Structure 1
């Protein structure tokens, strides 16, 4: 997906209604109060070395940062937010709301905005990887649920 299409996807999700049930959507997944768009996905790493993984991670972080720069021109600088502590907080019994709980399982940090004119929604960009053999993904979250 080109950067123009990534921006168009984010813009569309900022104004689109949220579904009543969790499930797949045209952009990725969605549920009550959120849309999670898969903007780019790498190949898996089953037969590659650590250097290829590191290079791909750097590429996806650079793509996230480039997209963040474009969004910052519209909405101002993002707030960097670490999600790394959320799984531990959940394990101690704290109720972490969705989509933040699921996102924190595979996205360590996000760039976060609360853009004016986006219907009181949050927009977050992050780089995901579920495991060392699995692909990286550039994700955009649009949600009305406040971050924990």
Structure 2
């Protein structure tokens, strides 16, 4: 079963917020040393934000998922360009995981496919994992303080949806799931 198959309509991916992007034909380049610190500071801000009330919406709005890097400029790109960009994005995610792991300890890799299967069966899945499971296969998760966790992962490209680097935060127990890369 494909990861985006059998997703209930109310969990369809949403459009990322509008970002200032380079020209549509700009090619992605390997991430520089300055890319990860910018992302890390945004993830730290997300981790420091007020936690959602148990069972309720997050204090900052209905979702605590942020787009760190958007591949919207790749919507009209050929498959080879998208594949190269996805590879670059995975390397950028790895650099971010390494940077955050130096601060918060080793990340727990969480395979979200099991959560997606639960969503497809109509079983409850806590936010933001209910939506992320249709976008991200592997989420790197840290407990940042009691009853608060953050995670980062890459959303895979598919027709009409570019690859993206995402960060999320949640309340309660840190999500689990068998994972490996």
Instruction: After TM superposition, give the deviation of residue 57 of structure 1 in Å.
Output: 0.8
Distance 1:18 1:80 in 2: 22
Asked whether the equivalents of residues 18 and 35 of structure 1 are also in contact (C-alpha less than 8 Å), the reply is no
Q: Please list the CA deviations of residues 53-92 of structure 1 after superposition, one character each: whole Å capped at 9, or x if unmatched.
A: 1111111110000010011111111111110122222222
5+ residue gaps, structure 2, are 1-33, 177-181
Distance 2:164 2:152 in 1: 11
Match of 2:45 among 12, 16, 29: 12
Instruction: After TM superposition, give the deviation of residue 19 of structure 1 in Å.
Output: 6.7
Instruction: After TM superposition, give the deviation of residue 137 of structure 1 in Å.
Output: 1.2
Moved over 4 A (4+): 18-23
Instruction: After TM superposition, give the deviation of residue 119 of structure 1 in Å.
Output: 4.5
Asked whether the equivalents of residues 44 and 133 of structure 1 are also in contact (C-alpha less than 8 Å), the reply is no
Match of 1:53 among 55, 58, 82: 82
Number of equivalent positions: 139
Residues 2-41 of structure 1: pairs in structure 2 closer than 5 A: 2-18=35-51, 30-31=61-62, 35-41=64-70
More strand by share: 1
Asked whether the equivalents of residues 44 and 134 of structure 1 are also in contact (C-alpha less than 8 Å), the reply is no
Distance 1:80 1:67 in 2: 14
Distance 1:140 1:131 in 2: 19
Asked whether the equivalents of residues 155 and 165 of structure 2 are also in contact (C-alpha less than 8 Å), the reply is yes
Asked whether the equivalents of residues 45 and 133 of structure 1 are also in contact (C-alpha less than 8 Å), the reply is no
Instruction: After TM superposition, give the deviation of residue 2 of structure 1 in Å.
Output: 3.5
Asked whether the equivalents of residues 67 and 165 of structure 2 are also in contact (C-alpha less than 8 Å), the reply is yes
TM-score by length of 2: 0.66
Distance 1:37 1:91 in 2: 24
Q: Sort the Cα spacing of 1:136 and 1:38 in 2 relative to 1 into closer, same or farther, 3 A.
A: same
TM-score by length of 1: 0.79
5+ residue gaps, structure 1, are none
Distance 1:104 1:135 in 2: 16
Query: Highest Rg: 1 or 2?
Result: 2
> SS at the partner of 1:58?
helix
C-alpha root-mean-square deviation of aligned residues, in Å?
Answer: 2.5
